[in-house]
Structure 1
Amino acid sequence: MLTTLRISGLAVVDAVEVRFGQGLNVLTGETGAGKSILVNALHLVLGGRMTAEVLREGADEAVVEALFELPAAHPVFGRLEAAGVAPPAGDTAELLVRRVAARGGRGRAFVNGALCTVSMLETALRGVVDISGQHEHVSLLDPATHLDLLDAFALRQARGDGGPDDPEPGDAEPLLRYRAAHAALAALVRERDALAADEGERARRADYLGFQLKELAAVDPRPGELEALEAERRVLASAEKLREAARSAEALAYGEEGSASERVGQAARALAEATLLDRRLEAPLGLLRSAAVELEEAGRELGRYAEAVGGDPERLAEVEDRHEHLKALARKHGGSLEAAIARRAEMVAELARLAGGGDRLKDLSGEIEARGKDAVRLAGALSRAREEAARGFAESVRRELAGLAMGRCRLEVALLPPESGIEFGGKVLAPGGAERAEILISPNPGEPPRPLARIASGGELSRILLAVKRTLARRDPVSTYVFDEVDAGIGGAVAEAMGRVLADVSRGRQVICITHLPQVAVFADRHHRVEKKVAGGRTHTSVALLDREEDRRQEVARMMAGVTVTASALEHAAALIEAARRPPLSADNGRRAAPGRAAARRLKAG
């Protein structure tokens, strides 16, 4: 469960620490007090996007920390260990997640002190916290989400048909196998459709490729040729200048009177006699003689170069012409000569495929037939599992709705053909299967079931969402449920029923609920009030635990009466809190059901 949430420098929050406990944790407060900031902080803990825009004005960084207490065997620790985070020791373990956004810098994420990426955080914490908000009312109206809800229920529903292709309890493999089979079939169908395209178009494509290849073959470019031609072109265009430079250098180094070679020779002869007197001059003498040889060789090389270099206008024209052809090819086929050469190989391969298209079409027919039969078989197994799951899901949600004052509501899950997909064997195969799902309801007896979007009110949607969550929660490994104002649009006895359902959910897992309804708040095991105040010209949000009975009565009375809390409102609040501690009346003779947790504690204390 989530034990502590600490926030600093986030939006209007300067520094807040909230300690949660087991059971039902309720947060209340005026609209705009900052309750949603706590939920947004939890989204960040779970890997949501965090940018410098969330920083409080004047803060250098925003920090969100969440401390969880989980069984050491929880899957989150296995995923973290695979990512390089050390596993815990003992039967229970603490998980500390820290998100930091710095002004002008990149955000950071830490798990138990180890730096990690946001994607690692999002993957590792999957299944730790489930957050439901008012936006889910909108997604519930979208039939595209209903198949996912049904599959989530099917994964948790025990089955035992004995069919070789039917899923085992909690087995996700049939859906994964079907999706893989459908993807393979779809790839083959796309290839077949491409090959079976208009023959004239294929012929035009082949003619175009043939023309392009003929052009490339005529030029026959070679790797590195463009650079070599550029170098040769520069030499041919500057032949006269190069010849003059070589002649001048030859004369100065070797050819004319007083050249470097002649003067070095004189120096060597002068030094030869001196070495007879001092042998230390032998080394410089050797260098001078080597220089004389090098100068003589350089002079001969320069002479040969001057004779060879020539301004051949015909060769220059040939080089420039080929250079322009190669540059044109490069521009046309990728921007470089290497790209044009690679494109030639690709066009040869494509032309071969077009030529062999008829043979490939025959092969594809057999492959599609085999893949299609496999996909149909797997889709059939998936459909059987979904048909049974649809009945179980509808019945389970109906039972939950009965406890939310919608006992007369009739709910069905219709399995309909997909709107699009691959047609094979009389079936339409979509990526998710051979059917789509749509939840239909009839809130009142005598009315036919209709789609949610056409008939459900806001209050009904709130209750249906909670009923769906409750249904999935029976086999859901999530340890903490967060409900962000999912009670919108309801009140009165229905609100009390929702409060009792939330309290019932909290018997098996931790529940954190943000609500504006006093009928829900009175069922809290821990009640927090969120307040927004202005001090020193700045807005501040704070969270206070209402651990005194008087404070709780005051807050519930405020929720009922508004700004002015009267004595009658306080009396009514006390009565509501006391009623929440008593078990609900059962259907038989008005007797009360088994005591709830709060009532049991009171009986034990008394």
Structure 2
Amino acid sequence: MLTELSIKNFAIIEEMSITFQKGLTVLTGETGAGKSIIIDALGLLIGGRGSVEYIRFGEKKAELEGLFIMEESNHPVFQKANELGIEIMEDQMLVLHRTISQTGKSICRINGKLVTLAILKEIGQLLIDIHSQHETQSLLNVDKHIELLDSYYQVNDPQFLKEYEELYHKWSQLKKDYKEQNQNEKELAQRLDLLTFQLNEIQSANLIPKEDDELLEERNTLVHFERIFQSLKDAYNGLHGEMRGLDWLSHTANHLEAAGENNQELQKLYEDYIDHYYMIEEISYKIRQHIDGMEFDPERLEFIESRLNELNQLKKKYGSNVEEIMEYSATIEEELETIKNRDEHLLRLEQRFKELTEDLLLEAKQLHDVRVKAAKGLEKAVLKELKELYLEKANFIVEVAYTKSDQNELMLDGSSVRPNNKGIDRIHFYISTNPGEPPKELNKIASGGEMSRIMLAMKNIFAQHQGITSVIFDEVDTGVSGRVAQAMAEKMYNISIDSQVLCITHLPQVAAIADTHLRIEKHMNHDRTTTSVTELSREDRIAEIGKMITGEELTEASKQHAKELIEMNKSR
């Protein structure tokens, strides 16, 4: 649920922080006081389209921040956050932040991590569902109807889509592989020639692992042969000969041995010294052997230069070192084998694809039958809600039809169908509010009051299925009054049992049934307009609802009526 909302330099709001509670919260106030601005701020916070016009006049940026607490550990936002690499705090808190600058750019953060506006929207739409008279979001989006129907059914069978989705993923991958393998003959022939040439070129080089590194080292020795040879001779001569290094070290050993004959500590020192002496003597022998074995071979140097040039030419084409070239050789050898045995491979692939297609269509048909059955249940549930909202004559239809394809690739029940990751179904919601009228799509309903009731009825059903933590109604009660207004108030309250509900309303019936009542007021401060939010006490609620009943003038009769409305809703 939305726990706190902070707004700074947004429209006429200079700075405001609102704490929200569970249940149903209503926001009331005069027209223009800033009620809808708060909803606009929430819309932008969850990824809505921003504009520099929202920035308060004279300021450089507007800042919005919302704190959400997820009380259910299986809320969909956890999985989505994990997919996007966003860490949710141990106390299941999620902080959304958005800054809009004068340049029109937005800076978005989730739990302090910079994210794109698209990611902010993905997360935000799992947390808040905003519904207004003109913006009905997912309920009016035909593409979302299949998700709504599935969410309605998933309460009874949470895993009913899983098997189909896994099968569709395998089918899609196999279809892609088959298409790639069954490509143009000319392209395959050209590919075969290219790979054959590359393989012959690499194999004819008779590569040896680490060969390039070893040749470079040998080349370096031959190029600097004279310098290395002379340096080794000088090193050897420095150790061997009369009055040279080893001669002096031998004299030192004799003196240390004599000193140690009568002193154990010096005897130990002599032993350590003589070990190192023998090591240096051994090194001198190795230097001599190296000198004796050295021979400058110009032909070998010429061969190495030629071989390194050959390897460098291969590196430009196939890899940065000999190992990578050999790995590439193994890869194209496998591909060549596949191309050469293409007909046999394609036959196996085609048979597997055919079997998997049959399985997919069978599973999709079962999914279709489940949705047809679920559609009947949803129709009854919506009609029941509409009846309680005094639309007794309404007719609500959930159409479950195959998604048709004009390519005639896959046939089911005599129809060409096009599968996707949700199945082969196209779901449409239709409604007729008056007897004798044909059902129409939801967005074709003319009456604002009817649209409000239809949307509220569906929200009441889907709120508990969608996992939305907060549902926001922005003056959806426009155009209704009397018993319909009371029925709508009760529907909103029912939704608030499973989801937090925030509602901007002008109806006293809705305000009276709320758990929390916030009043939005507009003030003048230093010739600038500002907005404030106040949580009303019981007495203030009575006065506010009384004014909603009669207008600006509060009478004893309206106060009594307001009190009765509150008490009546308390007793429900």
Normalised by the size of structure 1, how large is the TM-score?
A: 0.69
Q: Which moved more, 1:384-393 or 1:420-429?
A: 420-429
Indicate the residue corresponding to 2:558 in structure 1: 574
SS at match of 1:388: helix
SS at match of 2:397: strand
Query: For the structure 1 residues 423 and 461, does the alpha-carbon distance in structure 2 shift closer, same or farther, using more than 3 Å as the test?
Result: farther
Q: Equivalents in 2 of 1:412, 1:370: separation in Å?
A: 36
Q: Equivalents in 2 of 1:253, 1:495: separation in Å?
A: 115
SS at match of 2:513: coil
SS at match of 1:171: coil
Query: For the structure 1 residues 61 and 417, does the alpha-carbon distance in structure 2 shift closer, same or farther, using more than 3 Å as the test?
Result: closer
Residues 348-402 of structure 1: per-residue CA shift (max 9 Å, x gap) = 2222222222222222333233322322222222222322333443444344345
Residues 246-268 of structure 1: per-residue CA shift (max 9 Å, x gap) = 1111111114x431122233444
Q: CA shift at 1:472, angstroms?
A: 3.4
Q: CA shift at 1:245, angstroms?
A: 0.6
Amino acid in the other structure paired with 1:191: D
Q: Which moved more, 1:136-145 or 1:8-17?
A: 8-17
SS at match of 1:522: helix
Amino acid in the other structure paired with 1:26: V
Q: Equivalents in 1 of 2:310, 2:524: separation in Å?
A: 76
Q: Aligned-residue CA RMSD in angstroms? A: 4.9
Q: Which moved more, 1:183-192 or 1:5-14?
A: 5-14
Q: Equivalents in 2 of 1:62, 1:454: separation in Å?
A: 36
Query: For the structure 1 residues 324 and 449, does the alpha-carbon distance in structure 2 shift closer, same or farther, using more than 3 Å as the test?
Result: farther
Pairing 1:154-303 to 2, within 5 Å after superposition: 154-155=153-154, 170-255=156-241, 257-269=242-254, 282-283=267-268, 293-303=278-288
Match of 1:327 among 302, 312, 315: 312
Match of 1:36 among 26, 35, 39: 39
Query: For the structure 1 residues 516 and 221, does the alpha-carbon distance in structure 2 shift closer, same or farther, using more than 3 Å as the test?
Result: farther
Indicate the residue corresponding to 1:349 in structure 2: 334
User: 8 Å contact 1:63–1:98 — kept in the other structure?
Assistant: no
Amino acid in the other structure paired with 2:192: A
Indicate the residue corresponding to 1:469 in structure 2: 459
Query: For the structure 1 residues 496 and 572, does the alpha-carbon distance in structure 2 shift closer, same or farther, using more than 3 Å as the test?
Result: farther
Match of 1:599 among 548, 560, 568: 568
Amino acid in the other structure paired with 2:149: L
Indicate the residue corresponding to 2:478 in structure 1: 491
Query: For the structure 1 residues 486 and 185, does the alpha-carbon distance in structure 2 shift closer, same or farther, using more than 3 Å as the test?
Result: farther
SS at match of 1:493: coil
Pairing 1:5-44 to 2, within 5 Å after superposition: 5-6=3-4, 16-20=18-22, 24-29=24-29, 31-32=33-34, 35-36=38-39
Q: Which consecutive unaligned segments of at least 5 residues does structure 2 have?
A: 48-54, 79-89, 100-106, 113-118
Pairing 1:501-516 to 2, within 5 Å after superposition: 501-507=488-494, 509-510=496-497, 512-516=501-505
Amino acid in the other structure paired with 1:133: H
SS at match of 2:236: helix
Q: Equivalents in 2 of 1:355, 1:512: separation in Å?
A: 65
Q: CA shift at 1:436, angstroms?
A: 0.6
SS at match of 2:427: strand
Q: CA shift at 1:144, angstroms?
A: 1.0
Q: Equivalents in 1 of 2:210, 2:39: separation in Å?
A: 64
SS at match of 1:437: strand
Q: Equivalents in 1 of 2:148, 2:262: separation in Å?
A: 108
User: 8 Å contact 1:546–1:552 — kept in the other structure?
Assistant: no
Q: Equivalents in 2 of 1:212, 1:528: separation in Å?
A: 76
SS at match of 2:67: strand
| Corresponding position: 1:528 with 2:518 | yes
Q: Equivalents in 1 of 2:549, 2:305: separation in Å?
A: 89
Indicate the residue corresponding to 2:116 in structure 1: none
SS at match of 1:433: coil
SS at match of 1:335: coil
Indicate the residue corresponding to 1:309 in structure 2: 294
Q: Equivalents in 2 of 1:580, 1:464: separation in Å?
A: 30
Amino acid in the other structure paired with 2:558: A
Q: Which moved more, 1:524-533 or 1:257-266?
A: 524-533
Indicate the residue corresponding to 2:67 in structure 1: 64
| Corresponding position: 1:413 with 2:398 | yes
Q: CA shift at 1:242, angstroms?
A: 0.4
Query: For the structure 1 residues 550 and 390, does the alpha-carbon distance in structure 2 shift closer, same or farther, using more than 3 Å as the test?
Result: same
Q: CA shift at 1:241, angstroms?
A: 0.9
Query: For the structure 1 residues 419 and 330, does the alpha-carbon distance in structure 2 shift closer, same or farther, using more than 3 Å as the test?
Result: farther
Pairing 1:421-440 to 2, within 5 Å after superposition: 423-425=410-412, 426=414, 427-428=416-417, 429-440=419-430
SS at match of 1:197: coil
User: 8 Å contact 1:521–1:556 — kept in the other structure?
Assistant: no
Indicate the residue corresponding to 1:518 in structure 2: 507
Q: CA shift at 1:126, angstroms?
A: 12
Amino acid in the other structure paired with 2:301: L
Q: CA shift at 1:203, angstroms?
A: 2.5
Q: Equivalents in 2 of 1:304, 1:7: separation in Å?
A: 84
SS at match of 1:492: coil
Query: For the structure 1 residues 308 and 503, does the alpha-carbon distance in structure 2 shift closer, same or farther, using more than 3 Å as the test?
Result: same
User: 8 Å contact 1:5–1:65 — kept in the other structure?
Assistant: yes
Indicate the residue corresponding to 1:160 in structure 2: none
Q: Equivalents in 2 of 1:8, 1:288: separation in Å?
A: 79
Indicate the residue corresponding to 1:482 in structure 2: 471
Q: Which moved more, 1:257-266 or 1:415-424?
A: 415-424
Indicate the residue corresponding to 2:139 in structure 1: 140
User: 8 Å contact 1:27–1:513 — kept in the other structure?
Assistant: yes
Number of residue pairs matched? 518
Match of 1:378 among 356, 359, 363: 363
Q: Which moved more, 1:528-537 or 1:137-146?
A: 528-537
Amino acid in the other structure paired with 1:430: N
Q: CA shift at 1:482, angstroms?
A: 2.5
Query: For the structure 1 residues 406 and 302, does the alpha-carbon distance in structure 2 shift closer, same or farther, using more than 3 Å as the test?
Result: same
Q: Equivalents in 2 of 1:171, 1:67: separation in Å?
A: 23
Query: For the structure 1 residues 304 and 363, does the alpha-carbon distance in structure 2 shift closer, same or farther, using more than 3 Å as the test?
Result: same
Q: Equivalents in 2 of 1:225, 1:415: separation in Å?
A: 67
Q: CA shift at 1:519, angstroms?
A: 5.0
Q: CA shift at 1:310, angstroms?
A: 3.7
Residues 145-165 of structure 1: per-residue CA shift (max 9 Å, x gap) = 111122223345xxxxxxxxx
User: 8 Å contact 1:27–1:35 — kept in the other structure?
Assistant: no
Q: Equivalents in 1 of 2:318, 2:550: separation in Å?
A: 75
User: 8 Å contact 1:416–1:436 — kept in the other structure?
Assistant: yes
Query: For the structure 1 residues 18 and 415, does the alpha-carbon distance in structure 2 shift closer, same or farther, using more than 3 Å as the test?
Result: closer
User: 8 Å contact 1:140–1:146 — kept in the other structure?
Assistant: yes
Indicate the residue corresponding to 2:150 in structure 1: 151
Normalised by the size of structure 2, how large is the TM-score?
A: 0.73
Q: Equivalents in 1 of 2:261, 2:216: separation in Å?
A: 56
| Corresponding position: 1:359 with 2:344 | yes
Q: Equivalents in 1 of 2:556, 2:179: separation in Å?
A: 72
Q: Equivalents in 2 of 1:171, 1:225: separation in Å?
A: 62
User: 8 Å contact 1:333–1:339 — kept in the other structure?
Assistant: yes
User: 8 Å contact 1:131–1:481 — kept in the other structure?
Assistant: yes
Residues 176-226 of structure 1: per-residue CA shift (max 9 Å, x gap) = 222223333333322222222223322222222222211221223333222
